[in-house]
Amino acid sequence: MKPANFTSNKFGMFIHWGFYSMTGLQEQALARFNLDSKEYELLMHSFDPVNFDPDKIVMLAKNAGMKYICFTAKHHDGFCMWDTKQTDYNIMHTPYRKDILKMLADACHRHGMLLSVYYSNPDWHEKSAYNPLSSHQWKSPCPEEGNREKYIAFVKAQITELLTGYGKIYTLFWDIPPRFEDRNINELARKLMPGILINNRGYDEGDFATPEREVPCGNRFDRMTEACQSVGRHSWGYRANEDYYSARFLMSSVSKIMAMGGSYLLNIGPKGDGSIPEKAEKLIERIGRWYMSLNGALESTEPDSYPYALLDADPFIAVKKEGKTFFHFHNGLSVSAVTFTNAPSVPVCARLVNKSLPLSIRYEKLPGVHDGKTGLAMGPYVSLTGFDADDYADEPVTIEVAWQE
């Protein structure tokens, strides 16, 4: 049975990691820089990520308010980060010789973190994987040996391993749609892992949509949605010369996507030695401080359909939770007041959630808003004041209001 929706929208960590991180170029370095496939694959014999610390990664995510981690078990290059029996092209045949996915799964279970698995449909190592209907086939080793039936059997065998050997798996993230339908594959996943949620990049429409590196328009998603973004512009895996996004940009994206009812995966790419790039770690920590300050105000909400109107043009999304309205200003505030030109009543109380700051409530005419014919101030309007907008210039702002009945 397909789940109807997320139990709640969540903030999560995406992790793109494989031995491609040793190149310092990108997770698709093999294709993007047209590397020689045989020379590239020899890198696995030098892959020894001795500084991989799964507990540190899980706690980085947990301290940032993240509820789940989605890990790239296999990316497009076909290298497997778990002890698969379907190919020797895996972590157990490197100098490291430890099951990375098992280590991460154990850490997630120790710290109460949900675990999700990413699986690439393109595979630049497995000869049977070539699929002329799909994209990202550039480095397929033997297009003439592409065999759908054989490759599907390979995929099913690997998905069976992933969904039976690592405890509870929250979501399955297929990548790169194959552009043909085989509903048996997702049915197998659900049989192996009852309750699993599956995205729409696989062999049928799945359970949820996956906008990537974009913030869609609107105030509410019309289906279950998980957006994803990386901390860097050019890569999901480790890139030595990455151009990192600002914390402000990423927080705004998280705020809007989650206020719209979606989940949000924010990606980091560990280095070849398993350590987390310092800049990526600092971004997660900064974003986490803001996210934790909201105390769950972006999770498990319902849309508030009242036609609120504000004096200023700062964009916002209004949601309801526990009898209160939360106004999420994903681009922040331009003035040190929130003035409603249309509101259901005068609030009982209000606070700026970021700092749990009680706000003053004014109900008055405003001289800056006047009738052009008479010159008279218009109103009265409800204004929420008592904060300095400059104090919150580097993050989205959330305001909680309890309205009079």
Q: Per residue in 3-26, pLDDT tens?
A: 444 568 999 999 999 999 999 999
Whether 381 and 311 have beta carbons less than 8 Å apart is answered as yes
- The boundaries of every CATH 3.20.20.80 domain in the chain are 11-293
pLDDT for position 10 = 98
Per-chain mean pLDDT for the chain: 96
What are the structure tokens assigned to 299, written together? 């999770």
Q: For 89, what's the count of Cα atoms within 13 Å in the CB-facing half-sphere?
A: 21
Give the pLDDT of residue 6: 55
How far apart are the C-alpha atoms of 382 and 364, rounded to whole Å? 7
Rounded Cα gap, residues 83 and 162, in angstroms: 10
CA 25 vs CA 7, 20, 29, 30, 50: distances in Å: 37, 8, 6, 9, 20
- Parts of the chain belonging to CATH 2.60.40.1180: 302-403
Please tell me whether the overall predicted TM-score, pTM, comes out greater than 0.95 for this model. yes
CA angle, 86 as apex, 85 and 89 as ends, to 5°? Answer: 90
Backbone angles phi, psi at 355, to 5 degrees: -120, 15
State the Cα–Cα distance between residues 129 and 148, nearest whole angstrom: 7
Give the pLDDT score at 354. Answer: 98
Cβ neighbours around 156 below 10 Å, total: 17
The CA–CA distances, whole Å, from 19 to 122, 196, 213, 223, 262 equal 17, 28, 24, 35, 31
Chain position carrying tokens 């989650």: 258
The alpha-carbon radius of gyration of the chain (Å, integer) is 24
Pick the CATH number of 302-403 from 3.40.1260.10, 3.90.1170.50, 2.60.120.260, 2.60.40.1180: 2.60.40.1180
Closest Cα partner for 101 from 79, 72, 58?
72
Ramachandran assignment for 250, one of left (phi > 0), alpha (psi -120 to 50 degrees), beta (any other): alpha
Give SS3 for 248.
Answer: helix
Closest Cα to residue 402, out of 370, 363, 358?
Answer: 358
Structure tokens at 239: 């890139």
The distance between the two most distant Cα atoms of the chain, rounded to a whole number of Å, is 83
pLDDT of residue 4: 41
Low-confidence residues of the chain, pLDDT below 50? Answer: 1-5
Q: Are strands 263-268 and 171-175 parallel, antiparallel or unpaired?
A: unpaired
Integer Cα distance of 361 and 372 in angstroms: 27
CATH superfamily of 11-293: Glycosidases (3.20.20.80)
Q: How far apart are CA 92 and CA 34, in angstroms?
A: 26
